[in-house]
Amino acid sequence: MQLVRSVKELRALSDGARAAGRRVALVATMGALHDGHLALVALARRRADLVIVSIFVNPTQFGPSEDLASYPRTLDADLARCRAADVDAVFAPAAAELYPDGAQTFVEVAELAKPLCGASRPAFFRGVATVVTKLLAAARPHLAVFGEKDFQQLQVVRRLARDLLLDVEVVGAPIVREADGLAMSSRNVYLDAAMRAEALALVRALDAAEAAALAGERSAAVLLEQVRKEIGRAPHAKIDYAELRDPETLAERALIEGPALLAVAVRLPAPRAASGEVRLIDNRVLLRRRDAEDPPR
């Protein structure tokens, strides 16, 4: 496995693979890799000949009071996991490599970035869209794999790839969960045992809403009330948002007549986090058609 530090070196690697007729995949991460990330790698491995994982804690997607300084950085362990997962190259640049001195250009996806996480983290998706555009420009992949846990991010990346005429296939990978059902996240390490137990209210809320939708409930108000009631059983959980939206446009839904994105975010006390709390997100596409799942190739 090759460790790449510069854009020049990364482009040479990708261009050489392309010239040889090999298919290139990128998995963009901020490190602190867990089995959810490795599932993205496995999907990329099935679809491509050369798999590149980027590890970069992107400063432009963090707000002033967020956990940029304390975000888990575990490069040695991440490299070992990538090596075991048959990754071909890891791109781990310094910040100055992607944001040269005097950098003043940003990418914004106007409407998709406004609701859900964008409402409480107004600078977040500008940072995400900017760094993903830079990574795609540097790695020149045929395909890029992103997890559906960050469903809004996935749709933002798909939109920017279409709007900027980028020749890349953006592939969504299903959420990977812990044995107890909690969605895997690098920020789960901030939770102590008590708050970890309370975090499972997200999963119970999604399960309850999905069961109601499958039983015939179509009112967003009724479904969201069930979600709030279930999360309310966790005494320390504060709901950031709980919304039903169109899976592609992220427009609000009052009634669900087909697949609908139920997206939830909560905050929990977390003494291990610099801010003293952790924000967890999860989602479920209700009434999702089987043929909507991403087929392996």
**In this structure, what are the phi and psi dihedrals at residue 285, rounded to the nearest 5 degrees?**
-90, 105
User: Catalytic residues, which ones?
Assistant: 37
| Closest by CA position to 30, among listed 84, 85, 70, 83 | 70
What letter does residue 165 receive in the DSSP assignment? Answer: T
What is the C-alpha to C-alpha distance for residues 207 and 222, in angstroms, rounded to an integer? 14
What is the C-alpha to C-alpha distance for residues 27 and 132, in angstroms, rounded to an integer? 10
3-state secondary structure of 289: coil
User: Is residue 15 a contact partner of residue 25, using CB atoms and an 8 Å limit?
Assistant: no
User: Is residue 199 a contact partner of residue 269, using CB atoms and an 8 Å limit?
Assistant: no
3-state secondary structure of 87: coil
What is the C-alpha to C-alpha distance for residues 183 and 52, in angstroms, rounded to an integer? 24
User: Which positions ≥6 away from 13 have C-beta within 8 Å?
Assistant: 2, 4, 50, 52, 89
What letter does residue 193 receive in the DSSP assignment? Answer: H
User: Is residue 199 a contact partner of residue 281, using CB atoms and an 8 Å limit?
Assistant: no
Spatial strand order in the sheet of 143-147: 2-4, 89-91, 50-55, 24-29, 143-147, 169-173
* CA dist 141 → 29, 38, 114, 166, 285 (Å): 15, 18, 28, 10, 28
